[in-house]
Structure 1
Amino acid sequence: MNQDRLTPSEDDAITDAAAHWCMRLHAEDCTAAERVAFSQWLAADPRHAGEYQAMLEIWQTADLLPRTHNVVELKPQRRTQPRNWRPFASAAAIALLALPLAGWVGWEQGWLPSSYQHFETGDQLQQVQLSDGSTVELNLNSELRYLNYKDERRVTLIRGEAFFKVTHDSNHPFIVRAGNGQTRVTGTQFNVWKYEDQVKVTLVEGSVLVSSGDNDGGYRLGPGMQASYHQGDFEPSLAQSNDYGNALAWRSGKLVLDNLSLRQALPVINRYLNKPLLLADDNAARIRISGIYNTREVARLVDTLPKVLPVYLTRSKDGSTVLNRIVPPPSRG
């Protein structure tokens, strides 16, 4: 992460993560794996420790955090940037809202959310309801956080895929942050897919405004349109989908590959694998694939690829599977 000035979305991402860890580390069901993940997050950037410590102090000042044996206490960290009120909000929200005056002032000023929700799926699809009445369907291995502020409803899709049915509220926009961009709506139905630094938004009903990076503007989508972007893209790529149902087939447990090149298909396939498939070269990347597969059995697809495509499998040094194109023998005559 860049050690210079943070963009608003980067600052919010650190704040949301610090809020999440502050709550999880004080929960009775916090697992050893979560504590390892927290340590990794803490070591990833020096700003993380400072943000977490600030959140922890607010919670403890409110005296609403239980003292448990597995909580990580940090030494005070010097912050390199002045702190405004909003970054305090995420971690302190639930604690401060228990104090009527502080909670009311914080909500009225737009500093504090009225609710915080966190959802994570494993090998099962899940439908959840947000505190504003919106519903979200989560694909396998997906994770998101939701905070409800006075001036906006904010979701961070950390990983995976989600289908949103947003309760209409023209004065209270619904914003989904994924990767380095965001999707802004007031009430509609749309799908957001995220894998590594790639994001794709598919609109089903209504309209959404999609932007990449921290641009103030964005591009408005109509039903059936898709917007895609990668980390660092100045603007998203737009496309009209004739059959956006393929992008939503996961809701029925299906993965649909409709004449895609392996370069296009691998991010979709890898989303369901523990270790990603790799391409040996551009020759392999240009091979096209079609088919309908069960999302819970995508790992089996890997073993069948040599039976349906002109490829053979090898292993990289780290154990990942590599797809190599079978070169046909030269023609005679």
Structure 2
Amino acid sequence: MTEHTYSEAEYDAITDAAAHWCMRLHAEDCTEAERQAFELWRDADPLHAFEYDAMLDIWDVAEHLPRSAIAPDPAPTPVAIMPVKPTTSWRTWGMAAAITVLALPVAAYSGWNLGWLPNAYQHVQAQDSVRLVTLEDGTQVQLNLGTDLTYLNFKDQRRVILKKGEAFFTVSHDTRHPFIVKAAKGQVRVTGTRFNVWMYDDQVRVNLVEGSVLVTSNDTLPGDGLRLTAGMQAGYRDGDFSPQISQTYATDNALAWLSGKLVLDNLPLSEALPLINRYLANPVMIADQGTGRLRIGGIYNINEMKRLVPSLPKVLPVYLTQNKDGNPVLNALPQQPPKS
């Protein structure tokens, strides 16, 4: 079967269509009929899906650009194959502008000089195995299972967006270009060091092995955050005014994943489940606070976490049910009344 060769005009039309669908699907007034029409378009040709995925990457980059870079005044007309409805929010207009700017070499060069746009972009993932990658600046990153991150190189800083998962960074030293990891609403700022960032839902934990870092739980607040030195840990959740700082010890197991292990050191289920659920497509829930207080310990292979869930009733006084969303739920067994 002969593979179809696209003309430049055909390829440009597909790219324009991908940009249109990217903007429409992110718009608040996108209808179900439009979503169905998009699915028909995407499934009609593998190139459609490829171009749409590439446009999603640009959209993701645009989300982390300075607002001045994506929402100039007056708002520009977005590039699209159909006009965007007047009710579209400023954010969608701004993203459309960013898609336009990122696609134009001259505008991109100006954006780089102003510190608005990156000149290098990497999107890396680890699915079913731990993965070691080297970023454009020479930084080495070890990605845990189920990890997704994006690297952007700006004129005045290097930036990583950790979308989900866990990563250990050995940062290439560059005092003029700080290295920033954004996780949830906070960030970690360094120039060259070794540290680990774990994220699950809105929870983030930073473990520093070498050097020093500045950690903030909300990067919209003034200041550079709290300073960590080697052997310290910071944790925060979305909405926290400040991260919680603590000391780590030689027996700390936060980095056991680098050896393929998850170590649970007699933890309450309420604390252990986020560590377990990080590796599960269908997270385990707890029925109540009493169940959450039950403790669990042991050393587990991170590649075999699916086997852990059905085995929990064998090692803990619990039984499994399922909620309406299909999640397994742990329930503590009723306590037997004392014999008289």
Scaled by the length of structure 1, the TM-score of the pair is: 0.75
DSSP 3-state at the match of 1:187:
coil
After superposing on structure 2, the runs of 4+ consecutive aligned residues of structure 1 that deviate more than 4 Å are 25-29, 31-35, 53-56, 77-91
- Counterpart-to-counterpart distance in 1, 2:93 and 2:328: 47
C-alpha displacement of 1:315: 1.6
One of 209, 212, 222 as aligned partner of 1:216? 222
C-alpha displacement of 1:276: 0.9
Answer yes or no: is 1:278 the counterpart of 2:308: no
Answer yes or no: is 1:172 the counterpart of 2:177: yes
Aligned to 1:129: 134
Aligned to 1:247: 254
- Counterpart-to-counterpart distance in 1, 2:256 and 2:99: 34
How many equivalent pairs are there? 282
Answer yes or no: is 1:149 the counterpart of 2:149: no
- Counterpart-to-counterpart distance in 1, 2:319 and 2:104: 59
Q: Output the amino acid matched with 1:182.
A: Q
One of 282, 302, 307 as aligned partner of 2:314? 307
In the TM superposition, 1:2-21 aligns within 5 A as none
C-alpha displacement of 1:33: 10
Aligned to 1:5: none
Answer yes or no: is 1:298 the counterpart of 2:305: yes
Q: Output the amino acid matched with 2:327.
A: S
Q: Output the amino acid matched with 1:157.
A: L
- Counterpart-to-counterpart distance in 1, 2:215 and 2:327: 34
- Counterpart-to-counterpart distance in 1, 2:216 and 2:118: 24
User: 5+ unaligned residues in a row in structure 1: which ranges?
Assistant: 1-16, 42-49, 58-71
In the superposition, relative to structure 1, how do residues 294 and 89 fare at CA in structure 2: closer, same or farther (>3 Å)? same
Tell me if structure 2 keeps the 8 A contact 1:261–1:285.
Answer: yes
One of 273, 277, 281 as aligned partner of 1:266? 273
Q: Output the amino acid matched with 1:320.
A: N
One of 171, 180, 188 as aligned partner of 1:183? 188
Aligned to 1:120: 125
C-alpha displacement of 1:28: 4.2
- Counterpart-to-counterpart distance in 1, 2:307 and 2:96: 45
- Counterpart-to-counterpart distance in 2, 1:82 and 1:251: 39
C-alpha displacement of 1:187: 0.6
Answer yes or no: is 1:158 the counterpart of 2:163: yes
C-alpha displacement of 1:328: 2.7
DSSP 3-state at the match of 2:274:
helix
DSSP 3-state at the match of 1:215:
coil
C-alpha displacement of 1:96: 3.8
One of 59, 77, 84 as aligned partner of 1:76? 84
- Counterpart-to-counterpart distance in 2, 1:147 and 1:27: 27
- Counterpart-to-counterpart distance in 2, 1:133 and 1:104: 23
Q: Output the amino acid matched with 2:258.
A: R
- Counterpart-to-counterpart distance in 1, 2:51 and 2:98: 27
In the superposition, relative to structure 1, how do residues 309 and 91 fare at CA in structure 2: closer, same or farther (>3 Å)? farther
- Counterpart-to-counterpart distance in 1, 2:77 and 2:126: 26
In the superposition, relative to structure 1, how do residues 88 and 113 fare at CA in structure 2: closer, same or farther (>3 Å)? farther
Aligned to 2:197: 192
Aligned alpha-carbon RMSD (Å): 3.5
- Counterpart-to-counterpart distance in 1, 2:270 and 2:306: 18
In the superposition, relative to structure 1, how do residues 130 and 28 fare at CA in structure 2: closer, same or farther (>3 Å)? farther
Q: Output the amino acid matched with 1:147.
A: L
Q: Give CA-to-partner distance per residue, 1:36-68, whole Å, 9 cap, x none.
A: x99xx9xxxxxxxx98x97973xxxxxxxxxxx
C-alpha displacement of 1:325: 1.1
Tell me if structure 2 keeps the 8 A contact 1:212–1:235.
Answer: yes
- Counterpart-to-counterpart distance in 1, 2:207 and 2:94: 34
C-alpha displacement of 1:162: 0.8
User: 5+ unaligned residues in a row in structure 2: which ranges?
Assistant: 1-21, 27-41, 61-69
Bigger radius of gyration: 2
In the TM superposition, 1:20-169 aligns within 5 A as 28=47, 30=49, 57=79, 73=81, 75-76=83-84, 81=90, 92-93=101-102, 95-97=103-105, 99=106, 102-169=107-174
One of 231, 234, 242 as aligned partner of 2:241? 234
Tell me if structure 2 keeps the 8 A contact 1:86–1:111.
Answer: no
In the superposition, relative to structure 1, how do residues 54 and 173 fare at CA in structure 2: closer, same or farther (>3 Å)? farther
- Counterpart-to-counterpart distance in 2, 1:165 and 1:143: 17
C-alpha displacement of 1:317: 2.1
Q: Give CA-to-partner distance per residue, 1:55-82, whole Å, 9 cap, x none.
A: 973xxxxxxxxxxxxxx85533556559
Q: Output the amino acid matched with 2:176.
A: N
Q: Output the amino acid matched with 1:230.
A: R
Tell me if structure 2 keeps the 8 A contact 1:314–1:323.
Answer: yes
